[in-house]
A and B are shown apart, each in its own frame.
Chain A
Amino acid sequence: MRIAALILVRVAWLAPTLAGLVAIVFVISRVIPSDPVALLAGETASRAQIELLRQKLGLDRPLPRQLLDYYGQLARGDLGTSLFTTRAVWDDLSARLPATMELTIAAMILAVALGIPLGVVAALYRNRPTDHALRVVSVAGLALASFWLALMLQLFFAMDLRWLPLQARITGFPPPPITGFYVIDAVLEGNFKRLGDVFAHLILPAVTLAIPALATVVRFTRAGVLETLQRPFVTYQRAMGIPAGLIVWKYVLRNSLVSTVTQIGLLFGILLAGAVVIETVFQWPGIGAYAFEAILHSDYAAVMGFTVYAGVVFGIVNLIVDILHAVLDPRGTAA
């Protein structure tokens, strides 16, 4: 019941939040003396051509009217038509979402599977060389420009050593999608040769994407474990002679993880932001690479659609995280 209320409130907030997001971009683009139509038309366009394009795009109407028109469009699930692909932006993005999700989930698994044990180790060896080394690594992980790390990994592992493929999701033409997640598709078809190929393509982008998230997980887990270690129940368990390993890896970890789950929303933000940039480096056909192409072609509708779409995806993920948190830790969740 409480969770149902939480979902209702959050879903109800999503629409006005997205409307606000659109309004912000709209207002900023009009208040600042810059002309998107002139940009779109190119430097060689004549005045008449610009005016014609302006009318065609509906940009000659007053701002509130344009905003309302766009809201009306959005309400019908229409994000507009891409000037470059000439397809509906919503369809373009939905076709590309599985690629981004596959990459993001792979990176999330890497970050969590490595980050939690490393965070526990850092807490156990606090202020000893192991902890200092892990701190340097985690601070460094947050300071790397992801696109640069991507290029360096490509340079080393793909161009120099030739161990891993340089870019793309798969060798050759993409197979007809079942779910669009190539790992799942390959398993469903029982095609293990392709599965290996898909994994090889996934490694470099997933590692690049995982590194800042990994650094964040290590830091949060370390802080959470340190805090839990000071709680009375740990002293009690120690006094009872429960093996130290069992205390740490079972009881302490379980109590520290509640705060880590809350951070998954934050992590997803880091990963989505990273994906936008590194997809272009790895020619990964996700929504980030789409946004980049849209920028290159001054595809206004596509960039705008991407923003709204990212808001929807992000809002849904955060909602799922909040529900998960409410289930895991029923204390003090005010909807």
Chain B
Amino acid sequence: MRTARDIALKLIGDPSAALGLLIIVALVAVAVLAPLIATHPEAVWDMNPRDRLLPPSETYLFGTDRMGADIFSRILFGARITLTIAIVAVGAALMIGVPIGLISGWCGNWLGEALLRVSDIFLAVPQIVLAIAISQTLGPSIENVILALSVTYWPWFTRLVHAEVRALRHETFIEAAIALGVPTWRIVLLHVLPSVLSPIIVRTSIGMGFTILTASALGFLGLGAPPPAPEWGRMISEAREFLPEAWWSALAPGLAIFLVVMGFNLLGDGLRDVLDPRIRRGNPGR
């Protein structure tokens, strides 16, 4: 049994996973400490027309936007929105998706089949299409974006857990537990769930990155947090009309999205290598 310490050491030993972890730690730190790090915390929401659309300089590291707000400070505060959306949406998707996956995977009967069919409905269109429909009907706000993303992301967890549980169902240790008369809830929670935890963790990391991308796209389309919230996707869409002159106002938020999503993807890949023995078998060189 590998301990959490072994896993952590292995992760840090893998350069790309370590980089991913570093990016995420930095993101969390930036989100928490935004008011302290921001060079112009007062200029995140206030209008400052005299300083509008200034190029990057020592005063304004990433330049200013059309309101004269400091883009660097706005990005730092935007990290809070990004992180909140990703954590709450993926967390909710986990809480809906994993139990449904456990039930549908364990009960091979009509109930399992029905639950799977319901999750199929949500996968009948690309996530962003359904998310657009939901957030459009609800109106633009961060809460509605979170709702739209959780409602559209949980089936991915259900599918994953379902497939894993089906594969586990006839493993010797599970059959032994059934033969010993262990109550079903105990088997599922104490024997099945821990065994499917690894793929869930990997999927969570990659799902965070994916959710951030989708959330920023919703923001770009005008469905996210209403202005003047420093939401990265919306910042890019607001910068559009000032291209090509004020190129900096579109550059920085896009790089921020890229960096953060890259962090979650790298960590996810690293976790997959460390946690999933099947991948390692097919990849003996590592």
Q: Which residues of A contact B (CB under 8 A)?
A: 13, 17-18, 20-21, 24-25, 28-29, 32, 34, 36, 39, 126-127, 135, 139-140, 142-149, 151-152, 154-155, 159-160, 223, 226-227, 230, 269-270, 272-273, 276-277, 280-281, 291-292, 294-296, 298, 300, 303-304, 306-307, 310-311, 314-315
Contacts and interface: CB of A to CB of B under 8 A. Distances in A.
A292 B221 contact: yes
A25 B131 CA distance: 9
A83 to B, nearest CB: 13
B236 A155 contact: no
B217 A147 contact: yes
Nearest to B134: A28
A272 B221 CA distance: 16
B130 A295 contact: no
A234 to B, nearest CB: 14
Given A29-B138, A145-B254, A311-B124, A151 B236 contact: yes
9 contacts: A36-B137, A143-B209, A145-B254, A147-B237, A151-B240, A160-B244, A276-B132, A296-B222, A306-B129
B180 interface: no
Nearest to A127: B285
B266 interface: yes
B217 A272 contact: no
Contacts of A149: 254
B86 to A, nearest CB: 14
A307 B240 contact: no
A139 B205 CA distance: 14
Interface of B: 16, 118, 120-122, 124-130, 132-134, 136-139, 144, 147, 151, 209, 213, 216-217, 220-223, 233, 236-237, 239-240, 243-244, 247, 250-251, 253-254, 257-258, 261-262, 265-266, 269, 282-283, 285-286
A179 B244 CA distance: 35
B223 to A, nearest CB: 7
A165 B176 CA distance: 67
A79 B96 CA distance: 31
Given A142-B265, A227-B282, A280-B221, A272 B126 contact: yes
A17 B130 contact: no
B20 to A, nearest CB: 9
A20 B126 contact: no
Interface centre among A145, A149, A300 (most CB of B within 10 A): A145
Nearest to A139: B265
B6 to A, nearest CB: 22
A29 B137 contact: yes
B130 A25 contact: yes
Contacts of B132: 276, 291, 295, 303, 306-307
B124 to A, nearest CB: 5
A295 B223 CA distance: 8
Contact residues of A: prevailing secondary structure: helix
Given A142-B261, A147-B236, A159-B243, 11 more contacts: A17-B121, A21-B125, A24-B151, A25-B137, A29-B138, A143-B262, A145-B258, A303-B136, A304-B133, A306-B132, A307-B125
A201 to B, nearest CB: 18
A145 B262 contact: no
Contacts of A20: 118, 121, 124
A249 B91 CA distance: 44
Contacts of B133: 25, 303-304, 306-307
Nearest to B245: A159
A226 B120 contact: no
Nearest to A302: B136
A267 to B, nearest CB: 11
A307 B129 contact: yes
A262 B251 CA distance: 36
A280 B128 CA distance: 14
Contact of A315 (B118, B124, B239): B124
A292 to B, nearest CB: 6
Q: Which 4 residue pairs spanning A and B have beta carbons closest together? A: A148-B254, A29-B137, A20-B121, A273-B126
A142 B130 CA distance: 21
A143 B261 contact: yes
Contacts of A269: 126
Nearest to B152: A24
